[in-house]
Structure 1
């Protein structure tokens, strides 16, 4: 709305000040930057983030292998006395799995199993050496992160444009006040005196 008021100051008016015209140009520039540069910045940042994350997704999918692990027993100290096993979203268990090279491995891993009964099977992701790793990033999750990055870049660009616009308008207002103070100081001593033509 303030941008529209700023643009309205372009009209020919004998009372229009130079600062009014400058403010109108500042408003027009801000509108153009908000409508063109902010979306382009967001798109560029989102595209770059998506390309980078998709490369990471492909690399993780090539380097990580799913395997079936079986619970041997609950890990010692995995459950605390004040938290019931059903309330724990993930729990530590000692499990056995087969590495990609065919060797048997045993180790402590975390699982989302509701009950960590011995012999329960669950999917475990390992690297090429058989060490447990996090599951690979999914492509749609990477795309969602890229969208968030693009929106954040666009919003930060818009915030920067608006901040610069506000600082410029503030400077113009201060300039107007300074000119008004100088004009008032020049006319003030004669204001209302008889014979001064006022």
Structure 2
């Protein structure tokens, strides 16, 4: 971070300009914002994300239940898995036709993905369903939710740091542009007589 580089402008110097002091104050302000606002905002965002994600974990655990399914027959591979390179990650899963009993007691049958390498009729495996027996994804676990919340907080802190430093650099750029414009105006006023003999310079 280069915000600290502007702090030298506080030194007493007869050549120090007002803009130099303004740059120093901006550097100090940016440094304080990065050191204070970044972590505080990151903590707040992480806390809000943690609360929301943990609430989602609880809701999913209440709405989804693991049930035991029984293989009726093995089904052909899905057309989407025809490419052997795409199906390597699913080598431990097989597509089967199975039946299961929902948490509300109703019986269901249908094609599902079983975590069995070579399923046979009568094999048992676990699937996740909603309370009425419809297939659903495994609920989010608490550790994964916490990891996502930490990443969200860290991202918010980094974004704050980037915005503060970007704002400081933009403000300094505008000040430098104005300084150059004033120099050009002063040069234009002095330029026509500069270097001529008899001009009193």
TM-score, reference length from structure 2: 0.88
- The SS at the match of 2:84 is coil
- 1:170 is aligned to 173
After TM superposition, which residue ranges in structure 1, 4 or more long, deviate above 6 angstroms?
none
Q: 1:95-152 deviations in whole A, cap 9, x for unaligned? A: 1112113333211122332223332221111111111111111000000111111111
Q: What's the RMSD between the two structures over aligned residues?
A: 2.2
- 1:111 is aligned to 114
**The one of 132, 143, 162 aligned to 1:159:** 162
- 2:68 is aligned to 68
Cα distance, 1:87 vs structure 2:
2.8
Cα distance, 1:180 vs structure 2:
1.2
- The SS at the match of 2:69 is strand
Cα distance, 1:3 vs structure 2:
2.1
CA contact (8 A) 1:78 1:93 kept: no
- 1:26 is aligned to 26
| Unmatched tracts of structure 1, length 5 or more | none
- The SS at the match of 1:9 is helix
Q: Does residue 1:83 correspond to 2:79, yes or no?
A: no
CA–CA separation in structure 2 for the residues paired with 1:84 and 1:73: 25
Q: 1:16-50 deviations in whole A, cap 9, x for unaligned? A: 11111111111111111111111111110110000
For residues 186 and 85 of structure 1, do their structure 2 counterparts lie closer, same or farther at Cα, with a shift above 3 Å needed?
Answer: closer
For residues 95 and 85 of structure 1, do their structure 2 counterparts lie closer, same or farther at Cα, with a shift above 3 Å needed?
Answer: farther
Give the number of equivalent residue pairs. 198
Q: 1:36-89 deviations in whole A, cap 9, x for unaligned? A: 111111110110000011011111111211111122223355265553997351
